[in-house]
Chains A and B, each alone.
Chain A
Amino acid sequence: MGSEVPVISVSHVSKAFGDKQVLEDISLQVERAETFGILGPSGSGKTTLVKLLTGIDEVTSGEVKVLGVTMPKLSMLQQIGYMAQSDALYTELSAKENLEFFAALYGLKGAERGKRIKAVMELVDLQEHLRKRVDQYSGGMKRRLSLAIALLHEPPLLLLDEPTVGIDPVLRLSIWKELKALNEKGTTIVLTTHVMDEAEKCDRLGMIRDGKLLAADTPTGLLEATGSASIEEAFLYYGGVRS
């Protein structure tokens, strides 16, 4: 294969909503089977960047390519598993009905559908609550169900916007284990977070602040470059806030 196309290639991307500049000249690449974390405070433009990657939003300038295809492109959405920041679930339906609905949208049918639903629900440890209505779910359970839906159609690229918010540490650990297992199977994962200790688990990190990409490197690389002891310190270093 030699030089493989990067799964995600973002070059000089800017995004503005009206007068408000949300992202400014962002360039980064994500390679196959790595976990790339987008780290930044809330309001920094993380979600906007993820939406540009999905193709729901369009860049103002620059270019986003996913698997070598310029976004937005409808057919590429089949390759992407997206988990939004808000739990986009039909709360009046049961978990099973939600899963069946989204499975159908991705073209999963029959026995395969049933198999995938069972598999993802086991992954997020919700198999006992399959028939429960979502409005009876706790916040963490909804988060896990959203993740399960994103994994349903076994996409080669996962875009997860704050996937572990509201999930307790024990379960968070097991979810990370599963994400790593997916990496090994070749799935590329891009996730946003503002939890610093979680950031260390990523293969590479992009630090965003006020719509600008401050740095993108491996966690150790960032620590070395800034001479800091923790990701948090490194983040403060790049943000120009030094103690």
Chain B
Amino acid sequence: MRIRAITLRILRQFIHDKRTMALMFIAPLIVLSLMSLVFNGDAYEPKIGVSGVPLNISAALKEENTTIKEYASEELGKSALVEGKIDALITLNGNVGNSGVIPQVLLEGSNPTANKAVIMTLQKLSQKLLPSTEEQLQLQPQISYLYGSENMKTIDRFGPIMIGVFVFFFVFLIAGVSFLRERTTGTLERLLSTPLKRWEIVLGYVCGFGIFTVFQALLISWFSIQILGIMMTGSFGYVMLITLLLSMTALTLGTLLSAFAANELQMIQFIPLIIVPQVFLSGLFPLDTLPLWLQRIGYATPIYYGSEALMNIMIRGKGWNSIALDVYVLIGFSLLFMVLNVLALRKHRKM
């Protein structure tokens, strides 16, 4: 009897909380469909640049599932590689062997999936064009890496992204819940009955959590690089800067969204809606295999910019110029969320 009463009460609570109910049913569908889109994305098509390669080879390359771009000089090809427009550059300059010219393959290298795809294509090609195993061995392309190396592990690729994701996730949740608690415990109303201005509350939160997140960023970056041994070729200072900016974005977004949650449970419901999709679209999987509309959503998520910058710093060892845009975008997100936060507080006090 008592069990029945409890069962009934829980069912009634669910019925009263339509959002929790919707989340239980709909959120898994959203996440699953996103996963299926990501994992069933078309096989990765490597983009290969060629320079000074005989026509028959580039024609054969085109027959494989690749995108071929021809460059007039090796320099042009290299700069395209640095900009990330192509995954590999094949040249035939130099070293003349006994029975031909050994192809030189320079891989961009930061994405193990793309590396593998290029090497597979080349293997298929050499089997097709060169009849004997001997020739195949002799004319084995020489592979070198612009960034990374053949020893690069998957974790080296995922590491920078995961740093971004975890920093974002925890700051989002903790900041969101603590701001929510201000509302549910009545302290927010109490704050608003003092001469405190709305933007002062928002800024106070940013500063308070800001100090806390500096240490968090320091700890997470240090742990990932020193303890987990994730590949790190760039500046530690930049890694700190990006993790810190990501935390700021997470903090301001978390406090903003807490205005739309009635309790802690509803705050947690934002995880599958706000965090999980960002993880999938963060560059963990190559974005260009996804449908265009999904790619565009990716460009609107903070984690995307954070992990792009972190990859540029940690894997490619790049400097300020290549992360500047990401830095500005993250600052922009934080400022936007802060302004929206101040506006959202109008709900509680107009002045």
Interface residue ranges, A against B (CB under 8 Å): 54-56, 58, 72-75, 77-78, 80, 82, 84, 86-91, 102, 105-106
User: Out of A73, A77, A89, A90, which one reaches B194, CB within 8 Å?
Assistant: A77
Q: Are A56 and B192 in contact (CB under 8 A)?
A: yes
Question: Are A58 and B189 in touch, CB under 8 angstroms?
Answer: no
> Apart from A55-B349, A88-B186, A105-B195, what 19 extra A-B contacts exist at CB < 8 Å?
A56-B192, A56-B348, A72-B349, A72-B350, A74-B197, A75-B195, A77-B194, A77-B195, A82-B193, A84-B186, A84-B193, A86-B186, A87-B186, A89-B185, A102-B190, A102-B194, A105-B191, A105-B194, A105-B196
A-B contact pairs, 20 of them (CB 8 A): A54-B193, A55-B351, A56-B189, A56-B192, A72-B351, A73-B351, A74-B195, A74-B197, A74-B351, A75-B195, A77-B194, A78-B195, A84-B186, A84-B190, A84-B193, A88-B189, A90-B187, A102-B190, A102-B194, A105-B191
| B interface residue numbers (CB < 8 A to A) | 185-187, 189-197, 348-351
Give the nearest-CB partner of B204 in chain A: A105
Closest to A149 in B: B190
Q: Is the CB of A82 within 8 A of B351?
A: no
**In whole angstroms, how far apart are the Cα atoms of A137 and B95 in the complex?**
83
Quick one: closest A residue to B200, CB to CB?
A105
Q: How far is the CB of A51 from chain B (nearest CB, A)?
A: 8
Nearest to B188 among chain A residues (CB) is A88
Residue from B187, B189, B190 having most chain A Cβ neighbours under 10 A: B190
> Which residue of chain A has its CB nearest to the CB of B187?
A88
Instruction: Return the contact of A84 from the options B189, B195, B196, B351 (Cβ within 8 A).
Output: B189
CA distance A88 to B194 in the complex (A): 13
Instruction: Find out whether the CB atom of A106 lies under 8 angstroms from the CB atom of B348.
Output: no
A87 vs B189: C-alpha distance when bound (angstroms) = 11
The residue on A at minimum CB distance from B197 is A74
Please state if B190 and A82 are interface contacts (CB–CB under 8 Å). yes
Q: Which residues of B contact A88 (CB under 8 A)?
A: 185-187, 189-190
CB distance from A218 to the nearest CB of B (A): 29
Interface majority SS (helix, strand, loop, mixed), chain A? loop
4 nearest interchain CB pairs?
A88-B190, A88-B186, A86-B186, A82-B193
Tell me how far the C-beta of A175 lies from the nearest C-beta in chain B, rounded to whole angstroms: 19
Q: Would A56 and B187 count as touching, CB distance under 8 A?
A: no
Q: How far is the CA of A83 from the CA of B194 in the complex (A)?
A: 11
For A89, the chain B residues whose CB sits under 8 A away are 185, 187
Bound-complex Cα distance A69 to B190 (A): 21
Chain A residue at minimal CB-CB distance from B348: A56
C-alpha spacing A3/B196, complex, angstroms: 33
Rounded to whole Å, the gap between the CB of B37 and the closest CB of chain A is 40
How far is A54 from B191 in the complex, measured between Cα atoms in Å? 12
* Chain A: CB-nearest residue to B184: A86
Smallest Cβ distance from A64 to chain B, in angstroms? 13
A84 to B185, CA, bound (A): 11
Choose among B195, B197, B348 the residue with the greatest number of A CB atoms under 10 Å from its CB.
Answer: B195
Residues of B with C-beta under 8 A to A102: 190, 194
B186 to chain A, nearest CB (A): 4
Q: Note all chain B residues with C-beta closer than 8 A to A91.
A: 185
Contacts of B186 in A (CB 8 A): 84, 86-88
Q: How far is the CA of A82 from the CA of B193 in the complex (A)?
A: 7
Bound complex: CA of A72 vs CA of B348, how far in Å? Answer: 13
List chain B residues, Cβ under 8 A from A105: 191, 194-196
Contact of B349 with A56 in the complex, beta carbons under 8 Å: yes
In the bound complex, CA of A89 to CA of B189 (Å): 11
Establish whether residues B193 and A77, one from each chain, have CB atoms under 8 Å apart when the complex forms.
yes
Tell me the bound Cα distance from A38 to B186 in angstroms: 21
A91 to B191, CA, bound (A): 15
Chain B residues with CB under 8 A of A90 = 187
User: With A and B bound together, what is the CA distance between A75 and B185 in angstroms?
Assistant: 25
In the assembly, what is the distance between CA of A105 and CA of B350, in Å? 19
- Interface centre among B185, B191, B192, B193, by most chain A C-beta atoms within 10 angstroms, is B193
CB–CB B193/A56 < 8 A: yes
Assess the B185–A86 pair: CB atoms within 8 A: yes
Which residues of A are found within 8 Å of B351, using beta-carbon distances? 55, 72-74
Q: Which residue of B lies closest to A86 (CB)?
A: B186
Which A residues touch B197, using CB under 8 A? 74
- Complex: how many Å from CA A117 to CA B194? 17
- Which residues on B sit within 8 Å (CB–CB) of A74? 195, 197, 351
With a CB–CB cut-off of 8 A, which chain B residues contact A87? 186
Name the A residues within 8 Å of B185 (CB-CB). Answer: 86, 88-89, 91
**In chain B, what residue has the closest Cβ to A106?**
B194
Chain A residues near B194: list those with CB within 8 A: 77, 102, 105-106
A78 to B, closest residue via Cβ: B195
Q: Which of chain B's residues have a CB closer than 8 A to the CB of A73?
A: 351
Bound form: Cα–Cα A86–B184 in Å? 10
A77: B residues at CB distance < 8 A: 193-195
Please report the C-alpha to C-alpha distance between residue A78 and residue B193 in the assembled complex, in whole angstroms.
Answer: 9
Q: Which residues of A contact B195 (CB under 8 A)?
A: 74-75, 77-78, 105-106
In whole angstroms, what is the CA distance A72 to B187 when docked?
A: 19
Tell me, rounded to whole Å, the shortest Cβ–Cβ distance linking B92 to chain A. 69
Q: Chain A residues with Cβ under 8 A from B190's Cβ?
A: 82, 84, 88, 102
Q: Bound complex: CA of A166 vs CA of B196, how far in Å?
A: 29
